Structure 1
Amino acid sequence: MIKAQNHDNARGGMWILASGLAYSLGMALVKLLGDDYSAPTQNFVRQSIGLIVLVPFILHNPRSAFTIRRPKLMMARCAATSLSIILAYNSFHLLGLAEANALSFTRALFLVPLAAVMLAERVDRHKLLATLVGFGGVLIILAPGSARSLIGWPAAQGLLSALLLSWSVVTVKTMVRDHSDLALLSWSALMGVVFTAPFAWASWRMPQIGDAALMGVMGILGVISQACYIRGMALGEASLMAPLDYVRILFTTALGYVMFAQLPLPGTYAGSALIILAAIYVTLHGRRRDAALMMAAQHSRGISVLPAGSREVPDER
């Protein structure tokens, strides 16, 4: 018999909330520095700091860090992730924090068609309907035809960023079978620096001391956000932890008002609610289906199984 995993949802939830706060603070700094430093420059600094943080782990186990089974797919994934971050930074700089954050949530919706195409996952009518409702929320936020319409390149960058990130996540789901977590993280950070460097050089401006410190903080917040997210998922039940991540819409709204005197546009509240509800449904529905399939398979082999929490693929934000 496989015993159920012990969960600490209270502590796990606190880690997830800490992850959301760190992410929101980092994006607020992206917006603050965006007038003076390009998105590639900021991403280059972020990736460089992430690589520095990983150096001790790489030196401890270099074979695990650099063993690569499918180099072409790894390079494509790293390039997509780097471009996704640059587009996201531009979106957060040019849009309100709440609006850009809401559009970033669509990555869970893009996962549905991508997983169907790349992983041959079945899309039932409930998941399809939830996905369509979520994209209906995007239309409410964009408000096409209104005086406050967000239709344009800034919003398009946010959606394209979410699409690329979703593709990267689906790719990770196939690569975890023959790559270590350390290899995925190490190659992502290393190639992120390589891919971003030419664009950062083309728009490079030597940061002043204060700005350099803020960029450093931004990079550290990115690492903290990732680490807190992974820790929260390890401690708590995934089905309860994942929805908590959407609380960062409150953090970005508050930071937008305090730092930039911005309040969300009227349609942002309703649109965000639809996107978040649809994303939660898609996430939980998929986990329930996977758990049911696993238990059925185990039962067919005569094995008694108790629910035991699934391994989460780190969210690349």
Structure 2
Amino acid sequence: MKTPVLVALNKYSYSGTVTVSINTYYTDSSISVYPTFSVGDNILSQILDGQWPSATLWKGSGRSWGGDTYRYVCSTYVAPEEAAWCWMWARPFYVVYNVTYCFMAACEDAGEEYMAVITNVKSDGLYISGSVGFGLPPETIMNALLSGTESNIVFISNTPLADGDLDPGEFVDLRDIFRSYDTCGADFEIGIPIGAMLAVPACAALGLPTGGAACAALTAFMSSFAVTISAESPSVTVYGNIGNLGDTPSIENDVNVFEYVYMAESRYKYVYGDCEYNVPVGMVIEFR
């Protein structure tokens, strides 16, 4: 199915034209997708009671797809009050099961395990199949994604985003954005919003009424799950950038004005060893 890789929204009419791009061509390392997990007690019962469960999430150590120098490129500009999204063809799953550890005759219940995973990505040889779409992803996905995330302004020291905005002509490398979030060195890069994509079908599968408290809790919990597309090295990342083009002659009604940059972050912390960090889900970038 069409799977969002990056979403860009240029929110206001009094705005410059902005640009976003992702590119793995300059990454010599292999490109892979890694699952995301969470384990806990009584998570589902809390959700069915309409409560947000207590949980921590983490990136899996083994890839679920990839392991070669796959190529993916998406680049577009976004005029005032418009949106665009980069996507690829992928096969996402969200898996829930009970875990029991057994040694000889003794078994112990380890609780519930939740996993978001991509098992396959369509490609033509080493070229990942995908494109750019104009507008936003389907409304059900966006509504679910926003329920499991919060939008925060992005400050990155020693970059043009040190003050939280991009002036006309300023650009920020995606590598700087990834590193500003991945403060634990977990190598979490492009957060694909698998949970948000599958939340509405999950409510239907459990017989939960849309709009009810239990479905809302399940949607928010699942939508915090993002799987990462990463270069297979903590010192190498996927390339790309975001920028403010300002007043572009070929675009009507854009102006030279600075743009604040916001990103959708998971409401749940991710862990790597003893370290906690925030994850941008769906690479949803708002220019305001």
Check whether TM > 0.5: no
TM range (shorter): under 0.3
Normalized per residue, the structure richer in strand is 2
Q: TM-score, normalised by structure 1?
A: 0.24
Q: TM-score, normalised by structure 2?
A: 0.26
RCO higher in structure (CA 8 A, sep ≥6): 1
